[in-house]
């Protein structure tokens, strides 16, 4: 038995070589469908435009609108590592979004400057909203600080969203200089 991990394990861990990564990207693009598989160059402004549409759909609780930002077979990981927080395809994303945004009120947001590498982008957002208190149900302000790791198949369509976040009580401002690169 070899001491080296098998290729599938390496790919899962994100440690693949550039050639293997290109092959995986091609497979992801092919799975997205012919209309979504056109070659493109992802730019920071494309990512900002996509995130603005995502956040506006969040403000208006428009689950129908948000799923149009994802491929039909997209993967949405609200909490990485928890199987019940991984959603596959537009219907599961729609159902998740409907339930998670329903109790929220007064949502506003800030978004940072995206980092783009090939068809992938990382983008930090600060989101403020009110949600019912766990103790008495009254609306309380929270600040959600989140980084989204996004895989694009076109400048306007995402096949994978992985969210890393922290929720703080109250409205917390970002540090001075936040959001600029």
From residue 42, how far is each of 62, 121, 146, 152 by CA, in Å? 25, 9, 21, 8
Q: Which pLDDT belongs to residue 26?
A: 38
Q: Convert the pLDDT of each residue in 55-66 to its tens digit.
A: 999 999 999 999
Q: φ, ψ for residue 38 (rounded to 5)?
A: -70, 140
Q: How far apart are CA 128 and CA 53, in angstroms?
A: 17
Q: Convert the pLDDT of each residue in 1-40 to its tens digit.
A: 334 333 333 323 332 333 333 323 433 443 444 445 678 9
Q: What is the mean pLDDT of residues 83-99?
A: 97
Segment among 4-8, 49-53, 98-102, 165-169 with least mean pLDDT:
4-8
Q: Give the pLDDT band of residue 94 (cuts 50, 70, 90).
A: very high
- Contact (Cβ atoms closer than 8 angstroms) between residue 107 and residue 54: no
Q: Which pLDDT belongs to residue 180?
A: 75
Q: What is the mean pLDDT of residues 72-89?
A: 97
């Amino acid at each position: 038995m070899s001491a080296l991990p098998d290729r599938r394990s390496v790919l899962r861990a994100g440690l693949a070589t550039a050639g293997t990564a290109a092959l995986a990207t091609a497979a992801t693009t092919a799975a997205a469908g012919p209309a979504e598989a056109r070659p493109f160059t992802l730019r920071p402004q494309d990512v900002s435009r996509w995130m603005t549409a995502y956040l506006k759909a969040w403000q208006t609780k428009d689950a129908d609108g948000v799923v149009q930002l994802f491929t039909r077979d997209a993967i949405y990981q609200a909490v990485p590592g928890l199987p019940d927080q991984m959603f596959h395809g537009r219907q599961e994303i729609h159902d998740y979004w409907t339930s998670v945004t329903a109790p929220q009120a007064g949502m506003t947001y800030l978004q940072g400057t995206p980092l783009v590498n090939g068809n992938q982008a990382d983008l930090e957002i600060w989101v403020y909203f009110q949600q019912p208190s766990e103790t008495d149900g009254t609306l309380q302000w929270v600040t959600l600080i989140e980084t989204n790791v996004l895989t694009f198949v076109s400048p306007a369509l995402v096949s994978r969203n992985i969210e890393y976040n922290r929720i703080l009580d109250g409205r917390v401002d970002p540090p001075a200089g936040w959001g600029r690169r």
